[in-house]
Amino acid sequence: MKIIVTGGAGFIGSSLCIKLKTKYPNYSIVAFDNLKRRGSELNLTDFAKMKIEFVHGDIRNNEDLLTLDAFDVLIEASAEPSVLAGLNSDPTYIINNNLFGSINCFNACLRNKAKLIFLSTSRVYPISPIEKANFVEEETRFSFSDKQQELGISQKGISEDLNLFGARSIYGTTKLSSELFIQEYESFYGLQSAITRFGVIAGPRQMGKTDQGVVTLWMAKHFWKQSLKYIGYGGLGKQVRDILHIDDLTDLIDLQIHHIEKFSGKIFNAGGGLQNSASLLEMTRICETITGNKIMIGAEPLNRPADMRIYITDNSKIENEIGWKPAKTIETIFTDIFSWINSNEKQLKAILA
Protein backbone atom coordinates (compact mmCIF):
# COMPACT_ATOMS: atom_id res chain seq x y z
CA MET A 1 0.00 0.00 0.00
CA LYS A 2 1.13 3.54 -0.74
CA ILE A 3 -0.06 6.29 1.61
CA ILE A 4 0.31 10.04 1.10
CA VAL A 5 0.21 12.21 4.23
CA THR A 6 -0.29 15.88 3.43
CA GLY A 7 1.09 18.11 6.14
CA GLY A 8 3.38 15.14 6.63
CA ALA A 9 6.14 17.05 8.44
CA GLY A 10 3.76 18.64 10.93
CA PHE A 11 2.90 17.31 14.37
CA ILE A 12 0.06 15.01 13.38
CA GLY A 13 1.43 14.22 9.93
CA SER A 14 4.91 13.21 11.09
CA SER A 15 3.47 11.12 13.92
CA LEU A 16 1.25 9.29 11.44
CA CYS A 17 4.11 8.70 9.00
CA ILE A 18 6.37 7.27 11.68
CA LYS A 19 3.71 5.15 13.38
CA LEU A 20 2.47 3.68 10.09
CA LYS A 21 5.96 2.96 8.79
CA THR A 22 6.90 1.30 12.09
CA LYS A 23 3.81 -0.91 12.06
CA TYR A 24 3.79 -1.57 8.29
CA PRO A 25 7.44 -1.50 7.12
CA ASN A 26 6.49 -2.77 3.65
CA TYR A 27 4.10 0.15 3.04
CA SER A 28 5.31 3.13 1.05
CA ILE A 29 4.73 6.21 3.22
CA VAL A 30 5.12 9.66 1.66
CA ALA A 31 5.25 12.86 3.72
CA PHE A 32 4.07 15.81 1.60
CA ASP A 33 4.70 19.21 3.20
CA ASN A 34 5.68 22.82 2.43
CA LEU A 35 7.72 23.11 5.69
CA LYS A 36 6.02 26.42 6.54
CA ARG A 37 5.73 25.74 10.26
CA ARG A 38 8.91 26.26 12.24
CA GLY A 39 10.30 23.00 13.59
CA SER A 40 8.77 20.81 10.88
CA GLU A 41 12.18 20.50 9.23
CA LEU A 42 13.44 18.58 12.27
CA ASN A 43 11.34 15.59 11.19
CA LEU A 44 13.23 15.12 7.93
CA THR A 45 16.10 13.36 9.69
CA ASP A 46 13.74 10.75 11.14
CA PHE A 47 12.09 10.32 7.74
CA ALA A 48 15.43 9.59 6.11
CA LYS A 49 16.36 7.05 8.80
CA MET A 50 13.04 5.23 8.42
CA LYS A 51 12.92 5.37 4.60
CA ILE A 52 9.85 7.59 4.61
CA GLU A 53 9.82 9.53 1.35
CA PHE A 54 9.59 13.30 1.68
CA VAL A 55 8.08 15.47 -1.04
CA HIS A 56 8.40 19.24 -0.68
CA GLY A 57 5.10 20.54 -2.01
CA ASP A 58 2.08 22.70 -1.29
CA ILE A 59 -1.52 21.49 -1.56
CA ARG A 60 -2.51 24.95 -2.85
CA ASN A 61 -0.51 24.17 -5.99
CA ASN A 62 -2.31 21.44 -7.91
CA GLU A 63 0.84 20.93 -10.00
CA ASP A 64 2.67 19.73 -6.87
CA LEU A 65 0.06 17.05 -6.25
CA LEU A 66 0.25 15.95 -9.89
CA THR A 67 3.89 14.94 -9.30
CA LEU A 68 2.79 12.18 -6.90
CA ASP A 69 2.86 8.68 -8.34
CA ALA A 70 -0.16 6.39 -7.99
CA PHE A 71 -1.24 5.92 -4.37
CA ASP A 72 -3.93 4.08 -2.41
CA VAL A 73 -4.74 6.43 0.49
CA LEU A 74 -4.39 10.16 1.12
CA ILE A 75 -4.51 11.44 4.70
CA GLU A 76 -5.36 15.14 4.66
CA ALA A 77 -3.57 16.59 7.71
CA SER A 78 -2.22 19.80 6.20
CA ALA A 79 -4.52 22.47 7.67
CA GLU A 80 -3.57 25.83 9.09
CA PRO A 81 -4.79 24.88 12.59
CA SER A 82 -5.00 28.21 14.41
CA VAL A 83 -8.50 29.30 15.43
CA LEU A 84 -7.26 32.91 15.43
CA ALA A 85 -6.01 32.73 11.83
CA GLY A 86 -7.86 35.16 9.60
CA LEU A 87 -9.90 36.75 12.41
CA ASN A 88 -7.68 39.80 12.84
CA SER A 89 -6.00 39.62 9.45
CA ASP A 90 -6.64 38.81 5.79
CA PRO A 91 -8.31 35.36 5.71
CA THR A 92 -7.08 34.57 2.19
CA TYR A 93 -4.28 32.24 3.29
CA ILE A 94 -6.40 30.05 5.55
CA ILE A 95 -9.20 29.83 2.96
CA ASN A 96 -6.77 28.93 0.18
CA ASN A 97 -5.01 26.32 2.30
CA ASN A 98 -7.85 24.72 4.24
CA LEU A 99 -10.53 24.80 1.55
CA PHE A 100 -9.10 25.15 -1.95
CA GLY A 101 -6.00 23.14 -1.03
CA SER A 102 -8.16 20.39 0.43
CA ILE A 103 -10.27 20.27 -2.74
CA ASN A 104 -7.04 19.76 -4.71
CA CYS A 105 -6.40 16.76 -2.45
CA PHE A 106 -9.90 15.38 -3.08
CA ASN A 107 -9.33 15.61 -6.82
CA ALA A 108 -5.98 13.85 -6.43
CA CYS A 109 -7.84 10.99 -4.72
CA LEU A 110 -10.26 10.76 -7.64
CA ARG A 111 -7.42 10.66 -10.19
CA ASN A 112 -5.76 7.82 -8.30
CA LYS A 113 -8.95 6.02 -7.22
CA ALA A 114 -7.64 6.41 -3.68
CA LYS A 115 -9.32 6.54 -0.27
CA LEU A 116 -9.45 9.85 1.63
CA ILE A 117 -8.91 10.21 5.37
CA PHE A 118 -9.94 13.75 6.32
CA LEU A 119 -8.95 15.25 9.66
CA SER A 120 -11.67 17.74 10.53
CA THR A 121 -12.11 19.63 13.77
CA SER A 122 -14.44 20.22 16.69
CA ARG A 123 -14.34 23.86 15.62
CA VAL A 124 -17.02 23.17 13.01
CA TYR A 125 -19.52 23.54 15.86
CA PRO A 126 -20.84 27.10 16.31
CA ILE A 127 -19.58 29.10 19.26
CA SER A 128 -22.79 30.76 20.47
CA PRO A 129 -24.81 27.71 21.63
CA ILE A 130 -21.76 26.26 23.40
CA GLU A 131 -21.05 29.57 25.16
CA LYS A 132 -24.72 29.89 26.15
CA ALA A 133 -24.87 26.35 27.55
CA ASN A 134 -25.63 25.95 31.24
CA PHE A 135 -22.48 25.51 33.30
CA VAL A 136 -21.27 25.43 36.88
CA GLU A 137 -18.13 27.00 38.30
CA GLU A 138 -16.17 24.53 40.41
CA GLU A 139 -12.99 25.02 42.42
CA THR A 140 -10.60 24.38 39.53
CA ARG A 141 -12.79 24.36 36.40
CA PHE A 142 -15.98 25.22 34.59
CA SER A 143 -18.23 22.23 33.79
CA PHE A 144 -21.36 21.71 31.73
CA SER A 145 -24.36 21.25 34.03
CA ASP A 146 -26.67 18.25 33.74
CA LYS A 147 -29.65 20.26 32.42
CA GLN A 148 -29.28 21.73 28.91
CA GLN A 149 -31.71 23.34 26.49
CA GLU A 150 -29.69 22.60 23.33
CA LEU A 151 -29.69 19.15 21.69
CA GLY A 152 -26.12 17.93 21.38
CA ILE A 153 -24.80 19.40 24.65
CA SER A 154 -24.64 17.40 27.88
CA GLN A 155 -22.37 16.74 30.83
CA LYS A 156 -20.48 14.38 28.50
CA GLY A 157 -19.74 17.28 26.14
CA ILE A 158 -20.58 18.10 22.53
CA SER A 159 -22.09 15.44 20.28
CA GLU A 160 -22.69 15.29 16.55
CA ASP A 161 -26.33 16.28 17.19
CA LEU A 162 -25.49 19.94 17.85
CA ASN A 163 -27.05 22.29 15.28
CA LEU A 164 -24.37 23.67 12.95
CA PHE A 165 -26.01 27.04 12.31
CA GLY A 166 -23.95 30.03 13.48
CA ALA A 167 -20.46 31.52 13.40
CA ARG A 168 -17.54 29.31 14.41
CA SER A 169 -14.28 31.02 13.19
CA ILE A 170 -12.81 31.21 9.71
CA TYR A 171 -10.77 28.09 10.50
CA GLY A 172 -13.85 26.11 11.51
CA THR A 173 -15.79 27.33 8.49
CA THR A 174 -13.08 26.17 6.05
CA LYS A 175 -13.11 22.71 7.62
CA LEU A 176 -16.91 22.46 7.61
CA SER A 177 -16.93 23.58 3.96
CA SER A 178 -14.45 20.82 3.16
CA GLU A 179 -16.71 18.29 4.90
CA LEU A 180 -19.61 19.40 2.68
CA PHE A 181 -17.51 19.03 -0.46
CA ILE A 182 -16.46 15.53 0.62
CA GLN A 183 -20.10 14.53 0.94
CA GLU A 184 -20.69 15.75 -2.62
CA TYR A 185 -17.64 13.82 -3.84
CA GLU A 186 -18.88 10.69 -2.05
CA SER A 187 -22.35 10.95 -3.55
CA PHE A 188 -21.52 11.95 -7.13
CA TYR A 189 -17.97 10.66 -7.73
CA GLY A 190 -17.87 7.59 -5.50
CA LEU A 191 -15.05 8.84 -3.29
CA GLN A 192 -14.42 6.57 -0.29
CA SER A 193 -13.71 8.72 2.73
CA ALA A 194 -13.60 9.01 6.50
CA ILE A 195 -14.33 12.33 8.22
CA THR A 196 -13.43 12.80 11.88
CA ARG A 197 -13.93 15.90 14.01
CA PHE A 198 -10.99 15.90 16.39
CA GLY A 199 -10.70 18.07 19.49
CA VAL A 200 -7.40 19.10 21.09
CA ILE A 201 -4.62 16.70 20.11
CA ALA A 202 -1.33 16.59 22.00
CA GLY A 203 1.84 14.59 22.41
CA PRO A 204 5.52 14.45 21.44
CA ARG A 205 6.59 16.26 18.24
CA GLN A 206 4.12 19.14 18.69
CA MET A 207 5.60 22.63 18.35
CA GLY A 208 3.20 24.35 20.72
CA LYS A 209 2.22 28.01 20.47
CA THR A 210 -0.26 30.27 22.25
CA ASP A 211 -2.93 29.85 19.58
CA GLN A 212 -2.32 26.18 18.81
CA GLY A 213 -0.64 23.38 20.75
CA VAL A 214 -1.41 24.71 24.22
CA VAL A 215 -0.52 21.46 26.02
CA THR A 216 3.05 21.44 24.70
CA LEU A 217 3.30 25.18 25.35
CA TRP A 218 2.23 24.69 28.97
CA MET A 219 4.77 21.93 29.56
CA ALA A 220 7.56 23.79 27.74
CA LYS A 221 7.08 26.95 29.81
CA HIS A 222 7.26 24.92 33.01
CA PHE A 223 10.28 22.97 31.75
CA TRP A 224 12.28 26.13 31.01
CA LYS A 225 10.79 28.10 33.95
CA GLN A 226 9.18 30.81 31.84
CA SER A 227 6.00 32.74 32.58
CA LEU A 228 2.50 32.09 31.25
CA LYS A 229 -0.85 33.85 31.35
CA TYR A 230 -4.44 32.79 31.90
CA ILE A 231 -6.32 34.63 29.15
CA GLY A 232 -10.05 35.22 29.23
CA TYR A 233 -12.97 34.25 31.48
CA GLY A 234 -11.75 36.45 34.30
CA GLY A 235 -8.15 35.22 34.06
CA LEU A 236 -8.96 32.37 36.45
CA GLY A 237 -7.61 29.53 34.29
CA LYS A 238 -10.83 27.54 34.67
CA GLN A 239 -11.65 27.12 30.97
CA VAL A 240 -11.64 23.44 29.96
CA ARG A 241 -10.65 21.32 26.96
CA ASP A 242 -10.51 17.57 26.48
CA ILE A 243 -7.18 16.27 25.20
CA LEU A 244 -6.45 13.31 22.91
CA HIS A 245 -3.04 11.60 22.81
CA ILE A 246 -1.51 11.49 19.35
CA ASP A 247 -1.15 7.70 19.67
CA ASP A 248 -4.92 7.32 20.10
CA LEU A 249 -5.43 9.40 16.97
CA THR A 250 -2.99 7.29 14.94
CA ASP A 251 -4.73 4.10 16.11
CA LEU A 252 -8.02 5.48 14.82
CA ILE A 253 -6.51 6.54 11.48
CA ASP A 254 -4.99 3.05 11.13
CA LEU A 255 -8.48 1.58 11.56
CA GLN A 256 -9.92 4.00 8.98
CA ILE A 257 -7.25 3.13 6.41
CA HIS A 258 -7.99 -0.58 6.60
CA HIS A 259 -11.75 -0.51 7.28
CA ILE A 260 -12.97 2.66 5.61
CA GLU A 261 -16.32 1.04 4.83
CA LYS A 262 -17.21 1.47 8.52
CA PHE A 263 -16.77 5.24 8.20
CA SER A 264 -17.97 6.11 4.69
CA GLY A 265 -21.01 8.36 4.64
CA LYS A 266 -20.70 9.14 8.35
CA ILE A 267 -19.08 11.81 10.50
CA PHE A 268 -17.71 11.12 13.98
CA ASN A 269 -16.40 13.19 16.87
CA ALA A 270 -13.19 11.88 18.43
CA GLY A 271 -11.43 13.40 21.41
CA GLY A 272 -10.11 12.71 24.86
CA GLY A 273 -13.59 12.91 26.34
CA LEU A 274 -14.64 14.04 29.79
CA GLN A 275 -12.21 11.64 31.50
CA ASN A 276 -9.28 13.27 29.69
CA SER A 277 -10.27 16.89 30.14
CA ALA A 278 -8.45 19.60 32.07
CA SER A 279 -8.68 23.29 32.81
CA LEU A 280 -5.63 25.52 32.41
CA LEU A 281 -5.40 25.61 36.19
CA GLU A 282 -5.41 21.82 36.35
CA MET A 283 -2.83 21.66 33.55
CA THR A 284 -0.60 23.93 35.64
CA ARG A 285 -0.78 21.55 38.58
CA ILE A 286 0.02 18.54 36.38
CA CYS A 287 3.06 20.34 34.90
CA GLU A 288 4.24 21.39 38.35
CA THR A 289 4.07 17.78 39.55
CA ILE A 290 5.95 16.37 36.54
CA THR A 291 8.66 19.06 36.26
CA GLY A 292 8.99 20.05 39.90
CA ASN A 293 8.92 23.68 38.74
CA LYS A 294 6.56 26.52 39.62
CA ILE A 295 6.33 29.52 37.34
CA MET A 296 4.75 32.95 37.30
CA ILE A 297 1.29 32.92 35.70
CA GLY A 298 -0.40 36.23 35.01
CA ALA A 299 -4.06 36.94 34.35
CA GLU A 300 -5.79 38.69 31.48
CA PRO A 301 -9.55 38.73 32.12
CA LEU A 302 -10.74 39.65 28.60
CA ASN A 303 -11.63 36.84 26.19
CA ARG A 304 -9.89 36.32 22.87
CA PRO A 305 -11.95 36.17 19.66
CA ALA A 306 -13.70 32.82 19.06
CA ASP A 307 -12.72 31.45 22.48
CA MET A 308 -14.94 29.07 24.44
CA ARG A 309 -15.35 28.49 28.15
CA ILE A 310 -15.69 24.72 27.77
CA TYR A 311 -15.22 22.27 24.95
CA ILE A 312 -15.40 18.55 25.70
CA THR A 313 -15.91 15.86 23.07
CA ASP A 314 -18.79 13.45 23.52
CA ASN A 315 -17.40 10.22 22.02
CA SER A 316 -20.62 8.21 22.45
CA LYS A 317 -21.33 7.75 18.73
CA ILE A 318 -17.90 6.47 17.72
CA GLU A 319 -17.66 4.29 20.83
CA ASN A 320 -21.05 2.69 20.15
CA GLU A 321 -20.78 2.29 16.37
CA ILE A 322 -17.04 1.63 15.88
CA GLY A 323 -15.78 0.51 19.27
CA TRP A 324 -12.97 3.08 19.39
CA LYS A 325 -12.18 5.07 22.51
CA PRO A 326 -9.03 6.77 23.81
CA ALA A 327 -6.63 4.56 25.73
CA LYS A 328 -4.05 7.08 26.97
CA THR A 329 -4.69 9.11 30.13
CA ILE A 330 -4.17 12.83 30.47
CA GLU A 331 -1.25 12.20 32.84
CA THR A 332 0.38 10.03 30.15
CA ILE A 333 0.00 12.83 27.60
CA PHE A 334 1.86 15.35 29.78
CA THR A 335 4.50 12.82 30.84
CA ASP A 336 5.22 11.84 27.23
CA ILE A 337 5.59 15.50 26.21
CA PHE A 338 7.96 16.11 29.13
CA SER A 339 10.09 13.11 28.16
CA TRP A 340 10.26 14.30 24.53
CA ILE A 341 11.34 17.81 25.52
CA ASN A 342 13.85 16.46 28.03
CA SER A 343 15.39 14.12 25.44
CA ASN A 344 15.58 16.81 22.73
CA GLU A 345 16.21 19.89 24.85
CA LYS A 346 19.00 21.34 22.72
CA GLN A 347 17.02 21.12 19.46
CA LEU A 348 13.73 22.30 20.90
CA LYS A 349 14.83 25.18 23.14
CA ALA A 350 15.13 27.70 20.30
CA ILE A 351 11.62 26.81 19.09
CA LEU A 352 9.59 26.14 22.24
CA ALA A 353 11.37 28.46 24.70
CATH fold of 2-352? Rossmann fold (3.40.50)
Question: Is pLDDT at 294 greater than 70 in this prediction?
Answer: yes
Domain boundaries, the chain: 2-352
Element (H, E) at 196: strand 193-198
Name residues whose C-beta falls within 8 Å of residue 120's C-beta, 6 or more positions apart in sequence: 175, 176, 178, 179, 195, 196, 197, 198, 267
Average pLDDT, the chain: 96
Q: What is the pLDDT of residue 191?
A: 98
Question: What pLDDT digit, counting tens, does each position of 51-73 carry?
Answer: 999 999 999 999 999 999 999 99
Structural contact between residues 120 and 175, judged by C-beta atoms closer than 8 angstroms: yes
φ/ψ of 28, rounded to 5, equals -95, 115
What's the number of CA atoms in the CB half-sphere (13 Å) around residue 112?
23
CA angle, residues 268, 8, 267, in degrees to nearest 5: 10
Mark residue 227 as left, alpha or beta (left: phi above 0; alpha: psi -120 to 50; beta: remaining): beta
State the Cα–Cα distance between residues 347 and 345, nearest whole angstrom.
6
Cβ neighbours around 52 below 10 Å, total? 22
What's the number of CA atoms in the CB half-sphere (13 Å) around residue 72?
10
Question: Is pLDDT at 202 greater than 80 in this prediction?
Answer: yes
Cβ neighbours around 211 below 10 Å, total? 13
For residue 338, the one-letter residue type is F
Strand runs labelled E in 17-167: 28-33, 53-56, 73-76, 115-121, 135-137, 142-144, 153-154, 157-158
Q: Which segment of 13-27, 319-333, 338-352 scores lowest on mean pLDDT?
A: 338-352
> Residue 304 carries which DSSP code?
P
State the Cα–Cα distance between residues 228 and 201, nearest whole angstrom.
20
Question: Is pLDDT at 213 greater than 90 in this prediction?
Answer: no
Q: What is the pLDDT of residue 80?
A: 84
Nearest CA-CA partner of 295 in 217, 234, 240, 347: 217
Instruction: Say what the pTM is.
Output: 0.96
Question: What pLDDT digit, counting tens, does each position of 83-125 carry?
Answer: 888 888 899 999 999 999 999 999 999 999 999 999 999 999 9
> End-to-end CA distance of the chain, in Å?
39
Q: What is the pLDDT of residue 79?
A: 87
Nearest CA-CA partner of 190 in 249, 106, 272, 100: 106
Q: What is the pLDDT of residue 209?
A: 67
Nearest CA-CA partner of 311 in 346, 287, 278: 278
φ/ψ of 34, rounded to 5, equals -95, 0
Structural contact between residues 54 and 33, judged by C-beta atoms closer than 8 angstroms: yes
Nearest CA-CA partner of 141 in 311, 330, 327, 347: 311
Question: Is pLDDT at 259 greater than 90 in this prediction?
Answer: yes
Structural contact between residues 10 and 34, judged by C-beta atoms closer than 8 angstroms: no
Q: What is the pLDDT of residue 21?
A: 98
Strands 115-121 and 193-198: parallel
Nearest CA-CA partner of 206 in 248, 247, 246: 246
State the Cα–Cα distance between residues 198 and 243, nearest whole angstrom.
10
Question: Is pLDDT at 210 greater than 70 in this prediction?
Answer: no
Q: Which segment of 4-8, 42-46, 149-153, 338-342 scores lowest on mean pLDDT?
A: 42-46
Instruction: Tell me the pLDDT band of 211, cut-offs 50, 70 and 90.
Output: low
Q: How does 129-168 read in b/e, with b if 16+ C-beta sit within 10 Å? A: bbeebebeeeebbbbbeeebebebbbeebbbbebeeeeeb
